[in-house]
C-alpha cells in the first residue's frame, strides 16, 4: 500500500530560527500533497495544497512567507517554518495523493516545539 | 456516556460494547466521506469510506452510515476493544478523492477493560 514518510517526528527549536519538515511518498508518485496543522485536542486544519512543479495554494489566514512549501519532485514536499515563534508550536501533518487511485495517505506527523 | 469537553467530545464505553460516533458535515455538495482514527502523536489512519450514492457501508467490525438529508455520518464499531481507544474524525470532500479534505471536530473514544 501507499506509504508517506514524514521527518522529523519531533523537533525543538529556538525562537527566531527556521525548521524544515519533509514529506516523502515512498512507493508512489504524489502529484498533490497537503499540509495540515493540529493543535492539542483539535481537528486538523488545512494549511496549504502543493502540486508538483507549481506554487502552493495557501488557505486563508496562513502566511505564505512564514510557511514555505516546496514540492520540487513527485516524491518530496517540504514545509519550512521560518522565524519560528512559540505560537507556531503544533503538530504538523502531511498528506499525499496520486493520480493512481491511492486516495489520501497521511504521514506520521511532526511535533514542533518552539522555545 | 458521551460528554463534551473544552474542545473534543468524549465517548466512554466498556470493552465489548458497540460504539457509535456521530459527525455532522457541513457541505451538502460533498460526495465522498472518510472516517479516520488518530492515536496520540500519530497521523490519521484510514478506517472506512463511503460515497454519496450509498447510505451504508460495512467493513471489518465497522459500519458507516450516511444520511444526506440531514448531513449526518455515523461510525459504528462492533465489540469495541481497548485498542480502539483513539480520536475519530470524519472528513468530507468533493469528487473522487483528489480535492481537499475538510475534517470534522473529532470524538475521543475511551474504551475501558
Selected residue with higher pLDDT from B26 and B10:
B10
Does residue B98 sit at the A interface (CB-CB below 8 Å)? yes
- The pLDDT tens digits of the residues spanning A60-96 come to 999 999 999 999 899 999 999 999 999 999 999 999 9
Q: Please give the Cα distance from A7 to A19 (Å, whole number).
A: 11
Q: A106, B8: Cβ pair inside 8 Å?
A: no
The CB density around residue B93, as the number of other CB atoms within 10 Å, is: 19
User: Which residue of A4, A36, A49, A104 is the best one to mutate when testing the B interface, meaning the one whose CB has the most B CBs within 10 A?
Assistant: A104
Q: List the single residue in A with minimal CA-CA distance to B97.
A: A103
Q: How many percent of chain A have pLDDT more than 90?
A: 77
DSSP state of A85: -
Question: For residue B38, is pLDDT > 50?
Answer: yes
Asked if B3 has any chain A CB less than 8 Å from its own CB, the reply is: no
Helix (H, G, I), strand (E, B) or coil at B84: helix
Is the pLDDT score of A49 beyond 70? yes
A43: nearest CB among B45, B89, B100? B89
Which of B8, B33, B43, B97 has the most A C-beta neighbours within 10 Å, making it the best mutation to test the interface with A?
Answer: B43
User: In whole angstroms, what separates CA A55 from the centre of its chain?
Assistant: 14
> How far is the C-alpha of A10 from the C-alpha of B49, rounded, in Å?
30
**Cα gap A63→A67, rounded to integer Å:** 6
pLDDT average, residue stretch B75-101: 90
B92-113 tens-digit pLDDT: 998 655 688 999 999 999 999 9
Measure the CA–CA gap between B105 and A18, rounded to whole angstroms. Answer: 30
pLDDT of A55 higher than 70: yes
Instruction: Write down the pLDDT at residue B4.
Output: 43
Please give the pLDDT value at position B1.
Answer: 47
Residue showing cell 469510506: B49
The residue assigned the cell 457541513 is: B26
B10 touching A, CB under 8 A?
no
Amino acid at each position: 500500500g501507499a506509504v508517506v514518510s514524514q521527518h522529523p517526528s519531533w523537533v525543538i527549536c529556538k525562537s527566531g530560527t527556521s525548521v524544515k519538515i519533509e514529506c516523502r511518498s515512498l512507493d508512489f508518485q504524489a502529484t498533490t500533497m497537503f499540509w495540515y496543522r493540529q493543535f492539542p485536542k483539535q481537528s486538523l486544519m488545512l494549511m496549504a495544497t502543493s502540486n508538483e512543479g507549481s506554487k502552493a495554494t495557501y488557505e486563508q489566514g496562513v502566511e505564505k512567507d512564514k510557511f514555505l512549501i516546496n514540492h520540487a519532485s513527485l516524491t518530496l514536499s517540504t514545509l519550512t517554518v521560518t522565524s519560528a515563534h512559540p505560537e507556531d508550536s503544533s503538530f504538523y501533518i502531511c498528506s499525499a495523493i496520486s493520480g493512481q487511485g491511492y486516495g489520501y495517505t497521511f504521514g506520521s506527523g511532526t511535533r514542533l516545539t518552539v522555545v | 456516556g458521551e460528554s463534551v469537553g473544552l474542545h473534543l467530545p468524549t465517548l466512554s464505553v466498556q470493552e465489548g460494547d458497540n460504539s457509535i460516533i456521530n459527525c455532522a458535515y457541513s457541505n451538502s455538495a460533498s460526495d465522498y466521506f472518510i472516517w479516520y482514527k488518530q492515536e496520540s502523536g500519530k497521523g490519521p489512519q484510514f478506517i472506512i469510506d463511503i460515497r454519496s450514492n450509498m447510505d451504508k457501508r460495512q467493513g471489518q467490525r465497522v459500519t458507516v452510515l450516511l444520511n444526506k438529508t440531514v448531513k449526518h455520518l455515523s461510525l459504528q464499531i462492533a465489540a469495541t476493544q481497548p485498542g480502539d481507544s483513539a480520536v475519530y474524525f470524519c472528513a468530507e470532500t468533493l469528487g473522487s478523492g483528489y480535492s481537499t479534505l475538510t475534517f470534522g471536530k473529532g470524538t475521543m473514544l475511551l474504551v475501558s477493560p
